Chain A
Amino acid sequence: MTRTARQLLMATFGRRGREAADVSRTQGFLACFCRVSPVFEPSSLRHWIRRERTSSDSKSSCRKLFAVLALLGLSQAAFASVLPEDRTDFLYHRYDGGGVTIDGPSVLVRKSVGKSVSLSANYYVDMVSSASIDVITTASPYTEERTQYSLSADYLRGNTTMSMGYTNSVESDFDANTYSLSLAQDMFGSLTTLTLSYAYGDDTVRRSDDPTFFRDNTRQTYGIGLTQILTRNMITALNVEVITDEGFLNNPYRSVRYFDPDSPVGYSFEPELYPRTRTTNAVGIRAKYFLPYRAALEAQYRYFIDTWDIESHTGSISYIHPWRDFTFTAKYRYHDQTGAHFFRDLFARSEATNFRGRDKELSPLRSSTVKLSAAYEFISDGWNFIDKGTVNVSLDYLQVDYKEFRDMSTGNPLGSEPFYALDATVLQVFFSFWY
């Protein structure tokens, strides 16, 4: 290494110059430098580093590379964006709580084609077995399956990434198609990324016990996102999302209960009836900070309000700690919401209001989630065409307390049933490969 290059490396990275050459962090670092020097392809650089690492003076070689790149970084005035990394994930998920079990696989494959295009495909399945509080009090337990396919393409031109996607979801009584477009622009030396997005969804709702029943929904999603690097240790993001729905928005099976003095239990049921439109507004901010001993702390907050009078505050804090080939994550998330204006646990009489609903998710509620996850990097030196491989295990413990939705299954006298509470565990096990 030349004296000039060494001095430059020390000047630019300081004490972290040695760490910068650490191969476990090479991938992200390359992505950063390739923004500066688009003449280098990330994949060719990764192969170069892998080859060099097998030689006896690998650290020296890596330092040479970074010194050259740092020189190029200083001299190059133009900046360019990069496409997402090529990777494949195999996920098994399982939700278990409140009498409901949902599990299944999800496979996500992303691969670039040439220098400007990246394609991705996702196959996702929910296998549902439900004996939830809604189901056991007003219907019979059931099983069903939802299958979802997604395709997307990203096209990179200069500092602009254009994306389009299509998602198809099929259940025995519900079909959904979503078409999406987005445009992301890197600005100010890639310190700022502005993203505009739009999606159009078209759903068909059916009833399994009535072949003549068909209802339509349309949904439009407008999004603006701003990602901002604030300091060399901190990145922030702002997301604004407005979603409008129009059509048949309630569940065709769910009922509301109303006071009925003629009934032996004191109440009877009738079908839900929701407004035919809904507009939701969400503003989310998040900040992630790199701690001095190589760990990360992230805080997130979202404010939500909609035309059904649901207003919510959601906050979370995460801590990410790498140790040797492991990465540990701990997260706490808190959510508090008011209820929809047409939600009642018990209506005063039949057809008491224009709109009526008893979906517990529309009740005022408070939920908290604790998440623990661990990732182990079992391929870090490359194997065949794979650069890196990790296995991840993640467990979320979710607790929901409903403030107005009562638990009818207890058999307590009408009006004195306890408020319902739900505990659920969410398990995820997944393998990820970068190539």
Chain B
Amino acid sequence: MKKRLIARILLPMIALAALSGCSSIEPWVKPYERDRLADPIMFLDMNPVSSSYIYHVYEAREGARGGEGTAGGGCGCN
């Protein structure tokens, strides 16, 4: 009985509360406050063709890979 109560009433209530919590999150940086973030110098990847190449160089010269950017297949680097 107790388990059924939890399954049928409490769980949906918790789920609803969680969902309503998500929908009520107000963006604390308003769109009209993003002029600085929209400046090209603030782009995380300002030049994709260049960053893709340099990450490929790092992957070829070091034993680590991933987590920084993306690189293509193949090697050509021994």
Residues of A within 8 A of B (CB): 12-13, 16, 19-20, 25, 27-29, 31-33, 35-36, 70, 73-74, 79, 89, 91, 93, 95, 100, 102, 106, 108, 122, 124, 126, 128, 130, 132, 134-135, 144-146, 148, 150, 167-171, 174-178, 188-191, 201, 203, 221, 223, 227, 229-233, 235, 237, 239-243, 251, 253-254, 280, 282-284, 286, 288, 290, 294-296, 300, 302-304, 306, 310, 312, 314, 320, 322, 327, 335, 337, 339-340, 361-362, 365, 367, 392, 394, 396, 398, 400, 422, 424, 426, 428, 430, 432
Contacts and interface: CB of A to CB of B under 8 A. Distances in A.
Chain A interface SS verdict (over half): strand
Contact of B39 (A89, A126, A241, A294): A294
Contact of A146 (B36, B42, B76): B76
Contacts of A74: 32
Contacts of B42: 28, 235, 288, 290, 296
A428 B52 CA distance: 12
Interface of B: 25-44, 46-50, 52-54, 57-58, 60-68, 72-78
A314 B68 contact: yes
B78 to A, nearest CB: 6
A228 B22 CA distance: 16
Contact of B65 (A132, A135, A190, A282): A282
Chain B interface SS verdict (over half): loop
B49 A122 contact: yes
Residue of B28, B37, B40 with most chain A CB atoms under a 10 A cut-off = B40
B73 A148 contact: yes
B40 A28 contact: yes
8 contacts: A12-B30, A91-B53, A203-B73, A239-B67, A310-B64, A367-B62, A430-B47, A432-B47
Contact of B38 (A29, A170, A174): A29
A252 B22 CA distance: 53
Contacts of A95: 57
A235 B38 CA distance: 11
Contacts of A135: 78
Contacts of B73: 148, 167-169, 176-178, 201, 203
